[in-house]
Amino acid sequence: MQEPGIDKVRIKVLSIAGECQACHQVGQEVIVDNVTLSGYVCPHALVSLWPYVLVLQNRGKFPWGDGDSTIIACPDGENLARFEVARLKD
């Protein structure tokens, strides 16, 4: 059962420039349900993504775009992966 006030969030790999050392593939998706991840996300990328995951889990909105998603890059400047972080709608 989903906790009140906590939304599920999807992390999706949009693109990779170079060769991702964590073996992420374009199109890969991971669902975040509270603090449980349905799959693997590179720890370095996850540190960059997590603040945005928390905003969406707690029903916050971003002041850009549709407010329910954003695109974030991992910190690897040589093999840049871009991720979409989006609230899952029921």
Predicted confidence at residue 73, as pLDDT, reads 94
Give the pLDDT of residue 89.
83
Q: What are phi and psi of 67, to 5 degrees?
A: 85, -15
For the chain, 90 residues long, the average pLDDT of each consecutive 10-residue run is 77 95 95 95 95 96 96 91 93
Residue with tokens 């990328």: 45
CA dist., res. 70 & res. 74, Å (int): 13
Res 5: pLDDT: 74
**HSE of 76, CA atoms in CB hemisphere, 13 A:** 19
Strand-pair category, 81-87 with 69-73: antiparallel
